[in-house]
Amino acid sequence: MFTKESIEKIDVENNKWQQVYNKSVAKTPERLTRFSSVSDHPVQNLYTPLDIKDLDYSNDIGFPNQYPFTRGVQPSMYRGRLWTMRMFAGLGSAKDTNKRFHLLVNEGQTGLSTAFDMPTLMGYDTDSPKSVGECGRCGVAIDTLKDMEILFEGLPIDRITTSMTINPPAAVMWAMYIAMAEKRGIRREAIGGTIQNDMLKEFIAQKTFMCP
């Protein structure tokens, strides 16, 4: 991306600047001994083309809508279509959460993100002895196809996508979602969204009780 001459010139200028920087921090130290990103990657005091002199534009950055997708999935990036905005929501019964979903969509939300309660997350029915005291607490309780129908009643699932944060029963919830859409006369090609499939995530990262 840069010529050999420009890199050499920047290298010389960077060395001169580094001397100025060293004198400055000797007088006024930086606030921290180490700066890092949210992912705990160390952050340098300055970045220049020297740090990306070996960068391959096509393979490392690429174009919007093309591999490696560092510029987003849309050809126009966010100049045409904004990212999907979906508030993580779920509480009580399917009817309770349906009301919340309608509120969020009416306020301009462009997608749905479903929070399930602990029993549902782990594949237990609401009437299981292990579910006592947990039903509908941290999300919505979904046991049957009828619950799924109530959960999405009146919502335009053929126009907005649904994210379901659930792991062990992911295949069951996915099947229920498809069956619910078909009962409403909505073609499979018209629905979209995401679902998870990592039961260890629930136990290790979320500290939920184990799948039966």
Report which of 105, 85, 82 is spatially closest to residue 155, judged by C-alpha positions: 105
pLDDT, tens digit (0-9, with 9 covering 90-100), for 101-142? 999 999 999 999 999 999 999 899 999 999 999 999 999 999
pLDDT, tens digit (0-9, with 9 covering 90-100), for 8-47? 999 999 999 999 999 999 999 999 999 999 999 999 999 9
CA pair distance 30, 163, nearest whole angstrom: 43
- For residues 51 and 42, the answer to whether their CB atoms sit within 8 Å is no
Beta strands at 88-89 and 111-115: parallel, antiparallel or unpaired:
parallel
The pTM score is 0.75
Indicate if the pLDDT at residue 155 is higher than 90. yes
CA pair distance 175, 156, nearest whole angstrom: 18
CA pair distance 65, 95, nearest whole angstrom: 38
Task: Return the residue matching tokens 């949210």.
Answer: 38
CA distances 14 to 28, 33, 186, Å, are 20, 21, 61
pLDDT at 210: 66
CA pair distance 203, 159, nearest whole angstrom: 33
- For residues 91 and 97, the answer to whether their CB atoms sit within 8 Å is yes
CA distances 93 to 53, 97, 115, 143, 152, Å, are 56, 6, 12, 10, 12
pLDDT at 212: 66
Please state, as a whole number, how many other Cβ atoms lie within 10 Å of the Cβ of residue 113.
Answer: 21
